[in-house]
Amino acid sequence: MRVLLALGGNAMTNMDGRARVEDQLAAAQTAMAAVAGLVAERVDVVITHGNGPQVGNLLVKNELAAAVVPPVPLDWCGAQTQGTLGFILMNALDTALAERGLDKRSATVVTRARVAGDDPGFTTPTKPIGRFLPAAEAQLLVEHGETWQDRGEKGWRRVVASPEPLEILDGPAVHALVEAGFVVVANGGGGIPVVHDPNGSLRGVEAVIDKDLGAVLLARTVAADVLVIATDVPRAVLRYGEPDAEPVGLVTVAEMRRLAGEGHFASGSMGPKVDAACRFVEQGGSRSVITDLQHIVTAVADPAGQSAGTVVVPNPTGG
Ligand code: ADP
Ligand code: MG
């Protein structure tokens, strides 16, 4: 069995969202203990991860140091976080594998995701990134060509495009490593967005790809059977936060789409995960799972979703 594991922001930071070095190392340790559990079950694992807090920190450094060293573009920040997070995940994974006496090598591939230059996201940016700034400081960055929006009380915030990922250009390299038996970390932050210019050259763009959509594309690229979206709740929940809240266990993709249509899953948090889970199954995947790190191994071993996780499966055929 081959699993694509997508680690959410909170699987990579402290519970309170802080991304100090020690927070990230501790989070990586917890997540990779779960991965070692899967490897022990003879599962091929490909890992992808969010990078929001890490890129946010890099942007602050850019802002504060702009008068001394040139700021780097957002796609460079994406590449940097893929490298750094790949590094700490591999260290944590090697330790977790050694503890179980498992002989398996890891690798990280910095991956580019192609997006369309005319994606509507570029004309109407919607994805807020980085910290809030007072109007005067935001104005300076607007003069440097960035788009910032007045968000009221909290101040101004940068917004960028969130284009649809079309192709992972480095997918074949990831696939080859998986086939060769490596546990591969790839496509963090949804992939580094690049566009093909009319003259054929590739160019990084200042945009953010949804990590869960990037995960679906990577899952298809490596022919994964199961997409696991790891977050900080054991299951997606209907009427979330209300007295009659009800966790979703095993569900067909048609039913999950219907529930999403009723507005049960908040956009910007559970919504994109449910959408990604549905897409993977609609595109031929055998199962998607949404759960927390503690339940990954149990959920993967239990296709009926009885013990753990929200499990999205194909619609019955012929019905
Ligand atoms: P991550 O950082 O792991 O990618 P998010 O924080 O974006 O994850 O999304 C997970 C969060 O979504 C949960 O902690 C929960 O607060 C929120 N959430 C919103 N709607 C739901 C729902 N219907 N069921 C479960 N969690 C939900
Ligand atoms: Mg979160």
> What pLDDT, in 10s, does the model give residues 165-209?
999 999 999 999 999 999 999 999 999 999 999 998 999 999 999
C-alpha span between 156 and 52 (Å, rounded): 18
In ligand 1, which atom is closest to the CA atom of 247? 24
**Of the ligands numbered here, which is closest to the C-alpha atom of 270?**
1
pLDDT-above-90 percentage for the chain: 83
Measure the CA angle with vertex 37, ends 31 and 39; round to 5°.
105
Shortest CA distance to 111 belongs to which of 46, 162, 171? 171
Q: How far is CA 216 from CA 273, 276, 302, in A?
A: 10, 6, 21
In ligand 1, which atom is closest to the CA atom of 7? 3
For residue 108, the CA-to-ligand 2 centroid distance in Å is 23
Instruction: Mark the residues whose beta carbon lies below 5 A from ion ligand 2.
Output: 9-10
- What one-letter code names the amino acid at 227? L
C-alpha span between 285 and 224 (Å, rounded): 7
C-alpha span between 268 and 118 (Å, rounded): 23
- What one-letter code names the amino acid at 318? G
**Of the ligands numbered here, which is closest to the C-alpha atom of 8?**
1
What is the model's pLDDT at position 318? 62
For residue 271, the CA-to-ligand 2 centroid distance in Å is 12
Q: Which CATH code of 3.20.20.70, 3.40.1160.10, 3.30.1600.10, 3.40.50.880 fits the domain covering 2-224? A: 3.40.1160.10
Residue 10 has pLDDT above 60, yes or no: yes
Q: What DSSP element (H or E) covers 148?
A: strand 148-150
For residue 9, the CA-to-ligand 2 centroid distance in Å is 5
C-beta of residue 11 within 8 angstroms of C-beta of residue 31: yes
Q: Where are the domains of the chain?
A: 2-224
Under DSSP, is residue 303 helix (H, G, I), strand (E, B) or coil? coil
Contacts of 79 by beta carbon, 8 Å cutoff, 6+ apart: 110, 192, 204
- Of 2-6, 102-106, 134-138, the poorest mean pLDDT is in 134-138
C-alpha span between 125 and 308 (Å, rounded): 37
Give φ, ψ of 12 to 5 degrees. -120, 0
Q: What's the token pair of residue 20?
A: 């100090």
Ligand 1 interacting residues, C-beta cut-off 6 A: 8-10, 50, 231-233, 236-237, 240, 264-266, 269-270
- Of 32-41, 273-282, 297-306, the poorest mean pLDDT is in 297-306
C-alpha span between 288 and 274 (Å, rounded): 9
pTM of the model: 0.95
Dump pLDDT digits (tens) for 226-264: 999 999 999 999 999 999 999 999 999 999 999 999 999
Q: Whose CA is nearest to atom 4 of ligand 1?
A: 8
